[in-house]
Amino acid sequence: MTALAQPMSPTTLLESTIAKKVVMALTGVVLFGFSLVHVAGHFIAFKGADAYNAYAHTLKASAAVLWGARSFLLVSVALHIWAALTLTASNNAARPVGYRATANEASTYASRTMKWGGPLLFFFIVYHLLHFTIGSAHGSFIADDAYHNLVTGFANPVVVAFYLLSMIALGLHLSHGFASMLQTLGLSHPSYNPLRKVASVAFGAIVCLAYCVFPIAVFAGLLK
């Protein structure tokens, strides 16, 4: 009689490659959703200072909800980074000797830039929090005036350039991540893989351009 397979322990299961890919995919869904909601809210700035400040005040109205959402996002980011690092380490360990020639035909530009795009986005998130949330990296921060912080925060061309570079990295990251997430969740088939790739590139490009609107609009004097 064949012995029944013993169930995997939670630790062993979490250490498996498929589990890490699922963690990355599910946390990616959370972060994709946040990126869309976050940028959509910022477009209220084009309605003027009062409307934008009212929007910011609404977000801060319930401290419990606000910090609950922030904690959920921080945990999602931490798990996403953990999954990415451990999967990369596993892949490198499985292939300790690099190929003589890089087979770029099987990858995309977005996937090949993940190794620098990920760290750049991490440092951007830290700076962004210090810049617009905490205010310690902002030269003219006013806690209750989000519109003022927005327009003065993008007055420096170096800050604008850093934000634009980071948003390009975000677009590439989302493009590759969106395609990988769909594949991990089982939405991959030769008949519609080309559509999946086009949708992924479009998603990354749209989010990138949407976020770039604000530093450009401030620097060009459209928001002041």
pLDDT at 99: 45
Percent of the residues in the chain that have a pLDDT greater than 70, as a whole number: 83
> What is the rounded CA–CA span in Å between residue 149 and residue 214?
12
Q: pLDDT for 172-201, tens place per residue?
A: 888 888 887 777 777 777 777 788 888 888
- The torsion defined by the Cα of 60, 128, 42 and 204, in degrees rounded to 10, comes to -130
Could you give the count of Cα atoms lying within 13 Å of 222 in the half-sphere of its Cβ?
A: 10
DSSP letter for 64, please: H
Neighbour-count burial for 142-153, b at 16+ CB within 10 Å, e otherwise: eeebbbbbbbbb
Does 104 have pLDDT greater than 50? no
Return the minimum-mean-pLDDT range out of 77-91, 101-115, 145-159.
101-115
pLDDT at 117: 75
Q: How far is CA 32 from CA 10, 36, 191, 205, in A?
A: 27, 6, 25, 13
Higher per-residue pLDDT: 174 or 3: 174
Q: pLDDT for 57-88, tens place per residue?
A: 998 887 788 888 889 999 998 998 888 888 87
Q: pLDDT for 4-54, tens place per residue?
A: 445 555 555 556 788 888 888 888 889 889 999 999 999 999 999 999 999
Helix (H) or strand (E) run with residue 21 in it: helix 17-42
